A = this chain, B = another copy of it.
Amino acid sequence: MATLPAAIPEFLQRHRSGLEAALRGEVGVEPGGITAAARYVLGWEDENGCESEATGKRLRPLLCLFTAELLGGDAGPAMPGAVAIELIHNFSLVHDDLQDRDMVRHGRPAAWALHGEAQAINLGDFLYARAIRAITRAGGPADRRMAALSALLDATGRMIEGQWQDIGFESRATVTADEYLAMVAAKTGALLGASLALGAIMAGAPPVYAPALARWGEHAGIAFQLRDDHLGAWGDPGETGKPTGGDIVRRKKSLPIVLGLQDPRAAATIREVYARHTIDGADVAAVLSALEEAGCRHSCEEMAARHSAGADALLADLPLAAESRARLTEVAAYLVGRQT
């Protein structure tokens, strides 16, 4: 999934320390072995087992807890769901980094770079098991927890299917924009949506909330990914900390490229550049200008705005207190990088 801006909204941070404690409890404290490798992935230890602070932002579990508090007055019952969501997310990062041969995660060697391919597969599988176990071991009504697990596993299945499609796209000559958006909805949107849905379910909110919030999260997730795709092409290196056209240098099939491949002239430029042994600054500039001329930059912005508006519309239909609505709007704004 795409990189988030540095700071997440302050009001999401309230349960951060409680979340870390619950995550640590589920992962376990046994010295060495796979649990130590899991603590490295979660960011609490370095590769020598010394204490470290290299955690992710925990956006998804904090959204889960926030939603539970919003709708049920108490984040507590959703804690096992938050733990599960974060561990599922981390399992997917461990496997994704291996699949994509990405060497770095949170500024440190990716798990597969440290433990090798075979053990990175095991490590992801292990985090996956701990994720589900977190909910099976929790207290509270079994039917609520079962409904939460059902929603979580649906989303996990979709996330994996999205990753399958994404990898499949790499070897295809063209991909339609609809196919690309469906892939993003599955790969990025489903788990983000489930984060809010699990909060609603575990807090015992009326049944209208979970599916609506899942769809809201999905739209926000798509808008978020499309913004990232936009930044990967036209982002300002001073702002993103990444080189201009980074996605082009890495030959990624992000949305601008997917759109460009449907325009004969832009497609010719992209194919020529992507076939080169190394892609330099002039190549990037050529692709960006071909995309701009073909209207792909505009289309990309328009699609992101459409999904952002789709999220807002879903929110408008939900019975929510004014303050709650404002905060969810703030989360959406954060995700799509709007100034608030």
Q: Give Cα A95 to B207, complex, Å.
A: 37
Report whether A119 and B164 are in contact in the complex, using a CB–CB cutoff of 8 Å.
yes
Return chain B residues, CB-CB under 8 Å to A146.
Answer: 136, 142, 145-146
Which residue in chain B gives the minimum CB-CB distance to A131? B153
Q: Give Cα A118 to B123, complex, Å.
A: 15
Report whether A99 and B126 are in contact in the complex, using a CB–CB cutoff of 8 Å.
no
Report whether A128 and B126 are in contact in the complex, using a CB–CB cutoff of 8 Å.
no
Return chain B residues, CB-CB under 8 Å to A118.
Answer: 98-99, 167
Identical chains bound together, number = 2
| Min distance, Cβ A157 to any Cβ of chain B, angstroms | 4
Cβ of A33 under 8 Å from chain B: yes
Report whether B137 and A150 are in contact in the complex, using a CB–CB cutoff of 8 Å.
yes
76-127 of chain A: CB within 8 A of chain B: 91, 95, 98-99, 117-119, 121-126
Return chain B residues, CB-CB under 8 Å to A91.
Answer: 125
Return chain B residues, CB-CB under 8 Å to A163.
Answer: 122
Q: Give Cα A129 to B154, complex, Å.
A: 8
Cβ of A34 under 8 Å from chain B: yes
Cβ of A308 under 8 Å from chain B: no
Report whether B142 and A121 are in contact in the complex, using a CB–CB cutoff of 8 Å.
no
Return chain B residues, CB-CB under 8 Å to A145.
Answer: 142, 146
Given A33-B164, A146-B142, decide whether A99 and B121 contact each other with a Cβ distance below 8 A: yes
Report whether B129 and A156 are in contact in the complex, using a CB–CB cutoff of 8 Å.
yes
Cβ of A130 under 8 Å from chain B: yes
Given A132-B149, A142-B143, A146-B145, decide whether A160 and B122 contact each other with a Cβ distance below 8 A: yes
Return chain B residues, CB-CB under 8 Å to A236.
Answer: none
Which residue in chain B gives the minimum CB-CB distance to A161? B34
A133 CB contact (under 8 Å) in B128, B157, B165: B157
| Min distance, Cβ A53 to any Cβ of chain B, angstroms | 25
Given A145-B146, A164-B34, decide whether A153 and B125 contact each other with a Cβ distance below 8 A: no
235-272 of chain A: CB within 8 A of chain B: none
Given A98-B121, A142-B146, A167-B119, decide whether A132 and B132 contact each other with a Cβ distance below 8 A: yes
Return chain B residues, CB-CB under 8 Å to A147.
Answer: 136
Return chain B residues, CB-CB under 8 Å to A33.
Answer: 161, 164-165
Q: Give Cα A121 to B149, complex, Å.
A: 22
A interface residues (Cβ-Cβ under 8 A, vs B):
33-34, 91, 95, 98-99, 117-119, 121-126, 128-130, 132-133, 136-137, 141-143, 145-147, 149-150, 153-154, 156-157, 160-161, 163-165, 167-168
Q: Mind listing 7 A-B residue pairs with CB under 8 Å?
A: A34-B164, A95-B121, A122-B160, A125-B160, A126-B157, A129-B156, A141-B142
Which 4 pairs of residues, A with B, have the shortest CB-CB distance? A136-B150, A99-B118, A142-B142, A133-B153
